[in-house]
Every structure is written in C-alpha cells, then in structure tokens.
Structure 1
Amino acid sequence: MPTPPAARPLTPAARRVLDTAHELFYTRGINSVGMDLLAERAGITKKTVYDRFGSKDALVVAYLTERDERWRAYLTGHLAGVGGGRERILATFDALGAWLAEHGTRGCAMVNACAELPDADHPGRRVAREQKEWTRGLYRDLAAEAGAGDPDALAEALLILHEGATVAFTVLGAPEAARTARRAAEALLPQG
C-alpha cells in the first residue's frame, strides 16, 4: 500500500480526489462509489486516482484518517478552553452536538465504514477502531482527572452515551441527542 496521504504532501489532484472522496463516501457510502465516479467528480482521470492513492482501499483509509484527524482536532480544540475533568467531560457532548449539526448528517463515518467493510482486517476498520479507542482513552483520562473511582468503567459508559447520541441524532432525527447524553453523563460523574 502506498504511503498514506497524511504522511506526505498531497498534490492538487490528490487533494481534489480526497475532497471528492469525503463528499461521496460520506453521503453515498463507500461501496456505492466507484473509482470512475470519483475521477469524474474530481475532474481527473481514473489513472490519476490510482497514481495518487494506489487502490480504493488506500483511498478509504486516507478518507477515514483525515476525517478522524478533523474530529480529534475539533474536539481537542473545543476542550482547550475548558478547565477541570468534570467540565471537560461535559464539554465533549457540547462539541459532539455542534459537530453533528455541522458535519454529521449521516452519522459517524467510522461506524458507517465498519458497516460497509465486513472484513475485520480491512485497514479502514483499523482506522475506525483506533478512533473509538482514542475516544475511550480520552474519556478515561478525563474521568481520572474528575476523580472517578473507576475511570475505565466511567469511560466505557461515556463512550456508549457518545455513540448512542450519534445514532439517535442520525437515525431518529433527535436534534437534542447530544444534550440528552450530556445530562445522562452528568448524572454519572463524581460530584465535586
């Protein structure tokens, strides 16, 4: 597999391909989008797509990796100005609500990818798993900072609230799902 785009500068053509992949993979689904459509929408040849990414699997990995990087930067940026573990935990749900309203019309790109990529060894599933592990680790660190007696157990519960809010927002059209999850999280947190 070629070096992932995050590890090397993107050419203008590769940037167009990746931007197009972001739009099409997220809105239509990975398996519904062929390389011909990607090339056409990016305004380049299919050969150029393969020259820049090597395979559709590598492009899927680049798409998911970049989406993950955007989410992590968004969330950590949102938390940067918030003090205290308890407040920072609650702020993750505020960030999630804002992200979903702006970027989440079809839910979590990582979960969507896992649903479309049944091979547990697909490199795209690895990206998704790493994002969820990172999120659980963030919650564990924040739970410890907040003085939780069992940071691992609290992190697991917070991750489930986070993921459940995403599903409720997307599937049920519940615009307040992240706020509801925030209130549930608040009830789980140590007082102090």
Structure 2
Amino acid sequence: MASSDDQAVRATIVAAADRLYYARGIQNVGMDAVRAEAGSSLKRIYGLFPSKDLLVAAVLDHRTAMWWSGVDRAAAGAQTPREQLLSVFDFLNSWFRQDDFRGCAFINSFGELGATSPRVSEKVRAQKESFHSYVRDLVRRAGLADGVALQVTLLVEGAQTVAAITRDRDVVPQARRAAVVLLDAAAAEAGDSRAGQGAVPADGR
C-alpha cells in the first residue's frame, strides 16, 4: 500500500502532467518537463510511474474524476431525468468558457496515442462507455427508447469537438436546443406508442 507521502507526490505529478498534456499535447511533453512542473525528481517520478504510458493512464483517470465531478455538480439541482440530461450541457457551457479549454482530453489522447497504446485506448473507451451508460440510464428512467441515449451522447461529444476547433461560444446553447427538440420528439413518440398499445379495436375485440 502506498504511503500518504507517496499518494501526495503521485497526485502532484499527475496534476502537473495533466496541465502540460492538455495544453501542449502528450507527445510534445517529455518527462523532464513533467519533473520541472511537478517540482519532483525523475527518480521519484519513475519510481511511481515506470513508464510514460502509465503516467498518461493515471492522467486519464484524473480526467475521468474531473468529468464526473462536473457532471454531478451540474445535475445537483435537477428534479427529473430530463433535467439531468440537459444539465450535462450546462456543465459543458461552463467548462467551454474557461480560458484553458482545449477540447476533450480523451479524444485528444486517443488521437495521439490510440493507435499505439492499448492502455490509453482502453481508458478512453471506458470513459466514453461509462458516460453513454449514464445517459442511457437517464433516458430509460424518462421512459424513452435506448436509441435516444446515443443521439444525446453524440450531441455532447460533437459539441466538445466543434467548440475546441471553432472556439464558438454558441456551440453548447445550440447543442442544448437540439437536445430539447430530440427529447420532446422522443417523449411524444413514446406517448403515442403507449397510447396505441392501450387502444381498443373498433370492433371491440
């Protein structure tokens, strides 16, 4: 079991690497730069992370925790599954307006290392799948078809990519409006389906 000192140093190194990787790209940042940013020795860094691949994986775990923290904060006041779904866009809107926003760290990491690092690919896929599962659970609780979950997820993922490239601050409000239209249409369809299932044939049979 790691000591409390090791855990503190590990957290400092991961946070430093996260800042550098997110701002400059993973392949552009060497371990010397991480050492300088973290204020630690290379020996200590390699003692905790024997390879850069392991450090990148730890950074992605850190980013996963940050993502869920933001989603949970945005959903704190939501009263219904629909409100929880739409609150994701409120989280994105706040995040995208930060000066250091550079898009989705998972998409960025996959773009750089997805073809060469199975560990990174696994971490990215796990995060994307867990978010899709979260959305699907909310969609089901709202009484909507599972396919709606993928549609909402695509709006969220697309907003991250477009906002990172264009720096257009209206991306999220537009994506949220599209989600509202989507959810309204899905709810109407679900209502029609339920009404149809309960209808009595004209001949009484």
Deviation at 1:80, TM superposition (A): 2.6
Cα distance change on mapping 1:32 and 1:82 into 2, 3 Å: same
Give 1:51's aligned residue: 47
Give 2:9's aligned residue: 13
Deviation at 1:104, TM superposition (A): 6.0
Residue by residue over 1:149-189, the C-alpha shift from the partner in whole angstroms, topping out at 9 and shown as x without a partner, is x22x1111111100111112110111121111110011111
Q: TM-score, normalised by structure 2?
A: 0.83
Kept in 1: contact 2:89–2:176 (CA 8 A): yes
Q: Give the match's secondary structure for 1:41.
A: helix
Kept in 1: contact 2:60–2:106 (CA 8 A): yes
Indicate which of 123, 147, 154 corresponds to 2:148. Answer: 154
User: CA-atom RMSD, angstroms?
Assistant: 2.1
Q: Give the match's secondary structure for 2:127.
A: helix
Give 1:90's aligned residue: 86
Alpha-carbon distance in structure 1 between the residues aligned to 2:107 and 2:7: 29
Is 1:137 the counterpart of 2:133? The answer is yes
Alpha-carbon distance in structure 1 between the residues aligned to 2:127 and 2:114: 18
Indicate which of 67, 70, 73 corresponds to 1:77. Answer: 73
Is 1:32 the counterpart of 2:28? The answer is yes
Kept in 1: contact 2:114–2:120 (CA 8 A): no
Percent pairwise identity = 34
Indicate which of 170, 176, 181 corresponds to 2:175. Answer: 181
Residue by residue over 1:57-102, the C-alpha shift from the partner in whole angstroms, topping out at 9 and shown as x without a partner, is 1110110101111111220232132011112111111111112223
Kept in 2: contact 1:57–1:124 (CA 8 A): yes
Alpha-carbon distance in structure 2 between the residues aligned to 1:169 and 1:15: 29
Q: TM-score, normalised by structure 1?
A: 0.88
Equivalent AA in structure 2 for residue 173 of structure 1: R
Alpha-carbon distance in structure 1 between the residues aligned to 2:113 and 2:25: 11
Kept in 2: contact 1:78–1:95 (CA 8 A): yes
Indicate which of 145, 158, 167 corresponds to 1:164. Answer: 158
Alpha-carbon distance in structure 2 between the residues aligned to 1:100 and 1:48: 34
Structure with higher Rg: it is 2
Kept in 2: contact 1:104–1:170 (CA 8 A): no
Q: Give the match's secondary structure for 1:102.
A: coil
Give 2:111's aligned residue: 115
Alpha-carbon distance in structure 1 between the residues aligned to 2:99 and 2:181: 28
Alpha-carbon distance in structure 1 between the residues aligned to 2:50 and 2:99: 28
Unmatched 5+ residue regions in structure 2? 192-205
Deviation at 1:136, TM superposition (A): 0.8
Unmatched 5+ residue regions in structure 1? none
Indicate which of 121, 124, 127 corresponds to 2:120. Answer: 124
Q: Give the match's secondary structure for 2:98.
A: helix
